[in-house]
Amino acid sequence: MTSRDRAALNALLRTSFSHFVRRSFLELNPGATFQENFHIKAIAHHLDLARIGKIRRLIINVPPRSLKSTICSVAFPAYVLGRDPTKRFIVASYGSELATKLGNDFRNILASDWYRSAFPGTRISPTKNSEVEVTTTRHGGRLAASVGGALTGRGAGFVIIDDPLKPADAYSDLKREAANDWFSNTLLSRLDDKRTGAIVVVMQRLHADDLTAKLKQTSEEWIVLNLPAIAEKDEQIQIGENTYYFRKDGDLLHPEREPREVLDSLLAQMGADTFAAQYQQNPVVAGGNMIKRGWVQHYDNMPIRSPSTHVLQSYDTASKEGGQNDWSVCTTWYVIGGKYYLVDVLRGRFDYPTLKERAIDNARSHRATSILIEDTGVGTALVQELRNLGWPRDCGQSRPKQVGPHVHPIRKIPESAGAFPAQRDMVGCAGGRTLCFPWWSPRRSGRQHQPGLGPRDQGIALDGQEPGGILQLR
């Protein structure tokens, strides 16, 4: 590298925090490939606003393994101290092991040749250079702390809380409240200047009463950068001074690292409650969100079908097959005595000819009374195919105006209306996913790749409609 190239690179590292993050990652992960993504730019931009005083209270909620600790607890203090070696940081994490690891990563950055070249005015003081605390020759530095530890006599201009609670402690009221109280009673008072000091909380959500929830409830001054693994709405996310990333409902956070099939697998292994918290940043309250936990019932033995049993099939369709495309899902329900028993789930990534064939076989095998299909995309064609084949024979077009495919169905779900098999093999964690409403919605179920959500709730929402026929939801 020529001296001119070196000077240009140093200038870039001094003025662009996003580029500094990239270089820090490569320093700490030799041989690894840095995968640029909009969420990294978004986090970097918001931290830069905190650096210059435009944001004083910042919450960043992001799924695990999203580079949050490297960006917030390692690179950010190093970058700020490079520009001003008099600044002081306190960086707190849930345990001493994590705090030590992040502290050593920070030391490695400051000791690297490229950092010393880019920031010649920032040097580690020989009097204080440990895994817990590093000071500069200009009396700035970084102090590592564990949540719950003492900070008497210590202060800083920047306070960073990186995962105040470990997942194993999320459902311990005692430990969760202790972490929240430590923030309020100990950490909050450590700012050198309460008017200008900045506090950054970066964490995966773990519980409906975690630190993020507490801070949002007690003050409106917090800026929240919320980055769920699967987008729940269309939104624009600022990633630069005049630059925005437009994220659509259903878009994945970082599909190159965690594609749809990975998230599907995580949901199945972790369960809906944990996935909703850690990956969607929308934890389920103890009794369930809009759908209460007590409403979700289970049965041990398959209900007996009688001539009067109404058999309802509900579809959420996708038009393409393959691991990168949406799921098509059909749930089959017995409606007996005003209660809905889930008896079968058909799901897969089917092309249209396969979907049509499976839908016909599914209707025949269960002798469906009503088939509910969302009137969108390939669903419209599937309705016509089934009608042309005379299935069911008494079908007539019905578009219930009050049964929308979004939030409206929830109003028609009576308490304890849905019963799920006690053995979860057939439906995975279907009952648990119900409790997570509305972090998903029926219309999002296919787009967000949560198999079996949309057709379940369309089915329950049919309550009060005339039985018989193929119904379309608009």
Instruction: Specify if 385 maps to a domain.
Output: yes
Task: Give every CB contact of residue 325 below 8 A, 6+ residues apart in sequence.
Answer: 318, 349
Residue 73 shares a structural domain with residue 28: yes
What are 389-396's contacts with CB under 8 Å, separation 24+? 389/360, 391/360, 391/363, 391/364, 392/363, 392/368, 392/468, 392/469, 392/470, 394/468, 394/469, 395/371, 395/468, 395/469, 395/470, 396/468, 396/469
Residue 42 shares a structural domain with residue 162: yes
Report phi then psi at 316, rounded to 5.
Answer: -130, 110
pLDDT in tens, the chain (474 residues): 788 999 999 999 999 999 999 999 999 999 999 999 999 999 999 999 999 999 999 999 999 999 999 999 999 999 999 999 999 999 999 988 999 999 999 999 999 999 999 999 999 999 999 999 999 999 999 999 999 998 988 999 999 999 999 999 988 999 999 999 999 999 999 999 999 999 999 999 999 999 999 999 998 899 999 999 999 889 999 999 999 999 998 899 999 999 999 998 998 898 888 999 999 999 976 555 545 555 566 777 888 889 889 888 888 887 554 444 567 888 888 888 878 888 888 888 788 899 999 999 999 999 888 888 876 678 888 888 888 877 654 333 334 333 333 222 333 444 445 556 655 444 444 444 454 444 443 334 333 334 334 444 454 444 444 344 444 333
The whole-angstrom separation of Cα 118 and Cα 82 is 8
Residue 58 shares a structural domain with residue 140: yes
* Bridge partner residues of 142 (DSSP): 89, 134
Instruction: Specify if 396 maps to a domain.
Output: yes
Among 194, 134, 204, smallest CA distance to 159 is for: 194
pLDDT at 346: 87
pLDDT at 204: 96
Last-in-domain residue among 200, 230, 265: 265
Instruction: Specify if 177 maps to a domain.
Output: yes
Residue 234 shares a structural domain with residue 154: yes
Tell me whether residue 407 is exposed, middle or buried, using C-beta atoms within 10 angstroms of its C-beta: 0 to 12, 13 to 18, 19 or more.
middle
Instruction: Specify if 432 maps to a domain.
Output: yes
Cβ contact 36:22 at 8 Å: yes
Q: Residue 387: in which H helix or E strand, if any? A: helix 378-388
Last-in-domain residue among 236, 265, 294: 265
pLDDT at 462: 42
Instruction: Specify if 276 maps to a domain.
Output: no
pTM above 0.85, yes or no: no
Residue 367 shares a structural domain with residue 244: no
First-last CA distance in the chain: 61
Per the structure, the complete domain to which residue 55 belongs is given by 3-265
- Measured over the CA atoms of residue 50, residue 54, residue 59 and residue 60, the dihedral's sign is negative
pLDDT at 244: 97
CATH code, 196: 3.40.50.300
Cβ contact 266:204 at 8 Å: no
pLDDT at 410: 31
Task: Give every CB contact of residue 30 below 8 A, 6+ residues apart in sequence.
Answer: none
Task: Give every CB contact of residue 5 below 8 A, 6+ residues apart in sequence.
Answer: none
- Between β-strands 223-226 and 124-129, what pairing exists: parallel, antiparallel or unpaired? unpaired
Residue with tokens 């509910």, as numbered in its chain: 372
Last-in-domain residue among 214, 234, 265: 265
pLDDT at 422: 54
What is the tally of structural domains in the chain?
A: 2
Task: Give every CB contact of residue 376 below 8 A, 6+ residues apart in sequence.
Answer: 405, 474
Instruction: Specify if 272 maps to a domain.
Output: no
CATH code, 360: 3.30.420.240
The whole-angstrom separation of Cα 134 and Cα 250 is 43
Residue with tokens 């969760």, as numbered in its chain: 176
288: left (phi over 0), alpha (psi -120 to 50) or beta: left
Instruction: Specify if 273 maps to a domain.
Output: no
Residue 235 shares a structural domain with residue 375: no
Among 18, 14, 12, smallest CA distance to 39 is for: 18
Residue 227 shares a structural domain with residue 374: no
Q: What is the CA radius of gyration of the chain?
A: 27
pLDDT at 317: 82
pLDDT at 369: 86
How many other C-beta atoms can be found within 10 angstroms of the C-beta atom of residue 444?
A: 23
The whole-angstrom separation of Cα 469 and Cα 390 is 10
Residue 259 shares a structural domain with residue 290: no
H helices of 84-172, where?
Answer: 96-111, 113-118
Residue 62 shares a structural domain with residue 185: yes
Residue 151 shares a structural domain with residue 33: yes
Cβ contact 74:28 at 8 Å: yes
Residue 258 shares a structural domain with residue 353: no
Residue 231 shares a structural domain with residue 306: no
